[in-house]
Amino acid sequence: MAIEHTNLSDPAGIDPKQVARLSRLSRLGLSDDELQRLGSQLGAIVAAVDKLAEADTDRVDPTAQVGGLTNVCRPDVVLEGLSQGDALANAASQEAGLLRVPAIQ
Amino acid sequence: MTLLDRSIVELGRGLRTGEFSSVELTESALADTRTVDGELGAFLRTTAEAAMAQAAKADRQLAEDTGNRSPLLGIPVAYKDVLCTKGVETTAGSRILTGFIPPYSATAIERMEAAGAVGLGKLNCDEFAMGSSNENSAFQTTRNPWATDRVPGGSSGGSAVAVAARMVSAALGTDTGGSIRLPASFCGVVGVKPSYGRVSRYGLIAFASSLDQVGPLTKTVEDAALVLEVIAGLDARDSTSSSAPLGDLRGALKAGVSGLRVGIPKEYLSMEIEPGVRDVFDISVSRLEAAGARLSEVSLPSTEYALAAYYVIAPAEVSSNLARMDGVRFGPGFGSAPNLMAAYESARHLGFGPEVRRRIALGTYVLSSGYYDAYYLRAQKVRTLVSQDFEQVFKEVDCLISPTAPTTAFRIGERLADPLAMYATDLLTLPANLAGVSGMSVPAGFAGGLPVGLQVLAPYMGEATCFQVAATIEEMAQIWQIRPAGHANLESPV
Amino acid sequence: MTSIWEPVIGLEVHAQLLTASKMFCGCRAQYLGMAPNSNTCPVCLGLPGTLPVINQVAVQLTIRTALALNCEIPEFSKFDRKNYFYPDLPKGYQISQFDLPLSLNGLLEFEVEGRLVRAGITRVHLEEDAGTLHHAGEIQNASFSLVDLNRAGVPLMEIVGEPDLRHPVEAPAYLAALRRTLIYLGVNDGNMEDGSLRCDANVSLRRTGASELGAKVEVKNMNSFRSIQRALDFEVARQTELLDQGQSVAQETRGWSELEQVTVSQRSKEEAQEYRYFPEPDLPPLVISRAYVAELRAALPELPMATRRRLREQYALSEEQARLISETALDAAYFESVVAAGAPPAAAANWQVQNLQALCNAAHISVSGCPVRPELLAELITMVVTDQVSGAVAKEVLAEVFETGARPSAVVLARGLGQVSDTAELERLVAEALAANQKASADYQGGNDRALGSLVGAVMALSRGKANPKAVGQLLRDRLPRK
Ligand SMILES: [Mg+2]
Ligand SMILES: [Zn+2]
């Protein structure tokens, strides 16, 4: 396997529709101006990150985590948690012991 | 001179002989947070009342000789605001956490408190630790005490400044791509990035979970060892924490470097490095050689890909880690949004600064279907290559040495407009995070009146070697007593 | 139904595990009936800085289930993050398993309409449950929702079935067999009403005989066996009609509306979630040793199909009896204890399935948990078959034992219900009955056999049920010789 791709990205920026999708997916609520600016910055960063394509990663396993630990588990034991009051203490909006959020649709 | 010009060991001696009390020490430190810090802006908030109570308790323990022999008993310290403190607002430098009062403390902080350290408050940092200059804090700009028109480095800038300006003896910071080592270098203090898993991450507001580590910033290498001994070790609440023994750090401080094999990574030195920084490095290398170390050039060939891998992996984890910042359970909420989507967007748009948004978007991008293999998966494979480089090179040498950063502290605002230039600040530090090895920055000299730190890297769980080399560099440089006040125009004493 | 369209159905089942604590924190896994948000901690609230730690028993129960479903257990497994925003998901991601689940490639056998069906199990993986949402009315119209996180983080096993079902009727049968297996294993309580067992379905149609699949519709919101059957019937009919009219079926997610008895579009493919799975950096991977797998395999109990077969063969039970008695492992064990305590299998089966089960159902308790311990039922059955009590009296005795847990013999003694076989006493009762029923006596002697029955009944009534009917019959025949 040789290098699979070169410059997926356009250094001038990434597609505004794509940026809008990223903003929506990550709930960033960006304005059109912000999308524009972010698009060109992301374009530049992604272009730099395209450097990865040059690395020879044939037959290399991915590393998600260093340290080599495995099977770190806890015993199935119940521990004291928070009271309802403490659980909700930081919430901006609550009602009858429940967290309140606006209409889902 | 203030009492806090002294090292932790010296302060401990003063406390135990009754020369001064922890209450006196703490009062004087708190006074500095009100005066000295007015210009520097290291503290986001102080916890004076709790500090005085803790100091009084330490004084009782010192008087009663209760058996608490911890060297940190009664010593003023402070914590980067990404570390949760029970009952004390913790914001991670972000508007989205304004008013968040955790019902728990980070394990590292619990251990500091159990050792009797006196916590003075929470220190400024780049928002969610994303930045290299502290300019990304939502709340204030922290200034470098050596030149107040310059950045302190980031993201643990408040931590470095609080120590450099003698407001505390030690601060905890966090290092994801250099966030302890870089500000330590810029502010002329010691900063340790422990091996991944050495210190519990429980209660550390995650930036990039597979890279983050908590570590100390102190005036001296020995002080750093004393703090690391307290905070290191297995924690059942962090599945990635390790039980590997820390080794004999205090022994390492006195061991010298005779016969030690010290590698100079040629890829690090071939980067564009400011001449003054290069001078400090060269002088230190010749001193180490004179002290008996065996220096050699070594190669970490995948270094050129490390930055790219880092700026894929870290944002990917960020995009997920910061999803919990949704305004529902904590944070300022979402006002009168008409529906859930608008509520989320309102909370997150108002709550996050530009750098955080940038990284969330980038992370979302590299994890999206169609891009995952080309970016995220490939970055993980490059991470393997970077780790293999370190494994290979540590068969040839015991440790590596390089400048911590290519430059000294830059001017406030200088790199804000260009994210890539800012990212390049971490070129020399971030490979260690990708590989999880131990690292440290130790002040070695000055360039243009600004501190220069050297980075020592040692194998995974090999902190003792870092301390061994750093102690020698510190001893030969003889600069740790030099304090920033009045030295803004100091010419390099090296 | 002869259609040119063949349904292709696969089920995805989510089952809460019967652990003591949650998947990644020490909060209780049993949250029903608790005040809202009173079963949480910083970890399951997803507060900043908190970290998950794997519940070791949840892993064990999942592997146990996977083995019972004939799955392979790979040596290496890991957790991943499934990223999406929803108010019941505190962290903004669910810790689940993506490409390296705990198990793969299993098989579930079940019977439907007397046919044996073998359906593939794609995988069994482990994840965490979300919280619960409350709204005024329907979610679409509510002006706000309220979030309870007591359930957030409860260990949840996802059992993904292959699209091997070919008729809606197979779906509830598959689910029933799976449910029975989970209960046998003691890993889940099988309660669909409370949502500790939940089921979604993927439905598509294809031209009969074709091999490629049609557009897949995911059906959610089916909260009972009956709603699964109805939702799938509806969905197959809906898709058939579309295809018959030459239209295409849209790939989408639809919800079953219990109120309207229809499926309703919830989300089209275009709005499909982009979950951005990636390895969970907060959890080291799992390496499952072969020795551990062998140990768990050896500890597997007998499973429902095997129990049923064995009960039928070993005790000569009818298919129906075997099925009813093997409904749960505890019921089957109860039956075998009754037999072991001396009751004949056929009688034991009848008494358990009919009389005892009825009492238990009325009291909403299980046979195995009821006060009639197996040795007590065996004692009662023995008294019946040895003519110490009549069947009618035994039912009364059973009801009392069910209330009090007393020994049947003690109940019989205390209430003087023992069967009267003493000839002198019976002679007296027979004489009394004959005197009072002269017409019946004459009828019997005149050749009417049924008249003997009413005479026996009369004696039984005089004895208030205690007389031994066989002995009474014999005495009557002796007294009323036919010519
Ligand atoms: Mg699932
Ligand atoms: Zn919990």
pLDDT in tens, C167-226: 999 999 999 999 999 999 999 999 999 999 999 999 999 998 888 888 999 999 999 999
| Residue B358: inside a domain | no
For residue B440, give how far its alpha carbon lies from the nearest alpha carbon of chain C (Å).
24
Backbone angles phi, psi at B204, to 5 degrees: -90, 120
Better pLDDT: C20 or B334: C20
Q: What is the mean pLDDT of residues B71-79?
A: 98
3-state helix, strand, coil in chain B (%, to 5): 45, 15, 40
| Contact predicate B120/B30, CB 8 Å | yes
Residues of B in contact with A10 (CB under 8 A): none
Looking at residue B493, what is its pLDDT? Answer: 39
Q: Do B345 and A99 touch (CB under 8 A)?
A: no
| Residue B343: inside a domain | no
Q: Is C352 helix (H, G, I), strand (E, B) or coil?
A: helix
Looking at residue B485, what is its pLDDT? Answer: 67
The number of C-beta contacts closer than 8 angstroms across B and C is 104
Averaged pLDDT, groups of 10, chain A, 105 residues long = 40 79 95 93 93 95 96 98 97 94 87
What is the enclosing helix (H) or strand (E) of B356? helix B354-367
Cα–Cα distance for residue pair C44/C42, rounded to 1 Å: 6
pLDDT at C139 over 80: no
* Residue reference for tokens 């409860």: C154
| Contact predicate B307/A71, CB 8 Å | no
Domain ranges of chain A: 16-53
Under the banding of pLDDT at 50, 70 and 90, the label for residue B411 is: very high
Under the banding of pLDDT at 50, 70 and 90, the label for residue B166 is: very high
Per-residue pLDDT reduced to its tens digit, B461-484: 999 999 999 999 999 999 988 989
Under the banding of pLDDT at 50, 70 and 90, the label for residue C429 is: confident
DSSP letters for C3-37 = -SEEEEEEEEEEEE---SB-SSSSSBS--TTPPTT
Cα–Cα distance for residue pair C281/B362, rounded to 1 Å: 18
> What is each CA distance from B177 to B199, B208, B299, C283, C375, in whole angstroms?
16, 9, 20, 21, 70
| Contact predicate C106/C100, CB 8 Å | no
Given C51, C90, C278, which is nearest B316 (Cβ)? C278
Cα–Cα distance for residue pair C392/C384, rounded to 1 Å: 10
Cα–Cα distance for residue pair C168/C242, rounded to 1 Å: 18
Q: Do B361 and A38 touch (CB under 8 A)?
A: yes
Under the banding of pLDDT at 50, 70 and 90, the label for residue C466 is: confident
Q: Is A20 helix (H, G, I), strand (E, B) or coil?
A: helix
Q: Which runs of consecutive H residues, i.e. helices, occur in C341-422? A: 345-350, 357-363, 374-385, 391-404, 408-414
Looking at residue C141, what is its pLDDT? Answer: 78
Spatial CA neighbour of B323 closest among A92, C44, C48: C48
Find the length of chain C: 483
Q: Do A77 and C284 touch (CB under 8 A)?
A: no
- Return the beta strands (E) in C56-114 as ranges: 76-77, 80-83, 93-96, 103-112
Spatial CA neighbour of B463 closest among B191, B220, B201, B280: B191
Q: Do B382 and A67 touch (CB under 8 A)?
A: no
Q: What is the CATH number of the domain that holds B35?
A: 3.90.1300.10
Token pair of C471, please? 């002995």
Looking at residue A5, what is its pLDDT? Answer: 38
Distance C259 CA to ligand 1 centre (A): 26
Name, of C150-164, C251-265, C369-383, the range with top average pLDDT: C150-164
Q: What is the DSSP letter of C144?
A: E
With a CB cutoff of 8 Å and minimum separation 6, the contacts of B218 are B8, B163, B169, B170, B171, B189, B190, B224, B227
Under the banding of pLDDT at 50, 70 and 90, the label for residue B229 is: very high
> What is each CA distance from B83 to B105, B114, B131, C152, C428, in whole angstroms?
8, 16, 17, 25, 95
Distance B202 CA to ligand 2 centre (A): 14
Q: What is the largest CA-CA distance in chain C?
A: 100
> What is each CA distance from B342 to B259, C224, C276, in whole angstroms?
64, 35, 22
Q: Do B381 and A60 touch (CB under 8 A)?
A: yes
Ligand having the closest approach to the CA of C97:
1
| Residue B318: inside a domain | no
Looking at residue A2, what is its pLDDT? Answer: 34
Looking at residue C440, what is its pLDDT? Answer: 87
Per-residue pLDDT reduced to its tens digit, C346-402: 999 999 999 999 999 999 999 988 999 999 999 999 988 887 888 888 998 999 999
Q: Is B108 helix (H, G, I), strand (E, B) or coil?
A: helix
| Residue B344: inside a domain | no
| Residue B322: inside a domain | no
Ligand having the closest approach to the CA of C47:
2
Looking at residue C335, what is its pLDDT? Answer: 96
| Contact predicate B8/B222, CB 8 Å | yes
Token pair of C232, please? 């799938």
pLDDT at C247 over 90: yes
Given A42, A50, A63, which is nearest B380 (Cβ)? A63
- The overall average pLDDT reported for chain C is 92
Looking at residue C333, what is its pLDDT? Answer: 94
pLDDT at C138 over 80: no
pLDDT at C155 over 90: yes
For residue A22, give how far its alpha carbon lies from the nearest alpha carbon of chain B (Å).
6
Looking at residue A6, what is its pLDDT? Answer: 39
- H helices then E strands: how many in chain B? 18, 11
How many other CB atoms are there within 10 angstroms of residue B281's CB atom? 23
Under the banding of pLDDT at 50, 70 and 90, the label for residue B488 is: very low
Those residues whose beta carbon sits under 5 angstroms from the ion ligand 1 are: C 158
Domain that holds residue B219: 3-299+392-477
Backbone angles phi, psi at A68, to 5 degrees: 70, 15
Fold assignment, C423-479: Arc Repressor Mutant, subunit A (1.10.10)
Token pair of C39, please? 């079963």
Looking at residue C106, what is its pLDDT? Answer: 98
Looking at residue B494, what is its pLDDT? Answer: 36
Q: Do A70 and C59 touch (CB under 8 A)?
A: no
Spatial CA neighbour of C299 closest among C16, C61, C125: C61
Residues of B in contact with C54 (CB under 8 A): 239
Q: What is the mean pLDDT of residues B254-279?
A: 97
| Contact predicate C35/C266, CB 8 Å | no
Cα–Cα distance for residue pair B248/B229, rounded to 1 Å: 10
Residues of B in contact with C51 (CB under 8 A): 201-202, 237-240
Under the banding of pLDDT at 50, 70 and 90, the label for residue C483 is: low
Catalytic residue positions of B, numbered = 80, 155, 179
3-state helix, strand, coil in chain A (%, to 5): 35, 10, 55
Token pair of B144, please? 């470098």
Under the banding of pLDDT at 50, 70 and 90, the label for residue C114 is: confident
Cα–Cα distance for residue pair C458/C465, rounded to 1 Å: 10
Cα–Cα distance for residue pair C260/C243, rounded to 1 Å: 23
Domain ranges of chain C: 5-295, 304-408, 423-479
Spatial CA neighbour of B99 closest among B109, B111, B114, B89: B89
Is the preceding omega at residue B155 within 30 degrees of 0, hence cis? Answer: yes
| Contact predicate C466/C393, CB 8 Å | yes
Looking at residue C423, what is its pLDDT? Answer: 77
Under the banding of pLDDT at 50, 70 and 90, the label for residue C460 is: confident
Looking at residue C2, what is its pLDDT? Answer: 57
| Contact predicate B119/B163, CB 8 Å | no
| Contact predicate B168/B55, CB 8 Å | no
| Contact predicate C68/C194, CB 8 Å | no
pLDDT at B344 over 50: yes
Strand partners, B457: B400, B439
pLDDT at B135 over 90: yes
| Contact predicate C400/C412, CB 8 Å | no
ipTM of predicted assembly, 2 dp:
0.95
Q: What is the mean pLDDT of residues B318-336?
A: 93
Q: What is the mean pLDDT of residues B337-364?
A: 95
In B, residues 123-182, which contact C (CB 8 Å cutoff)?
Answer: none
What is the enclosing helix (H) or strand (E) of C160? strand C155-161
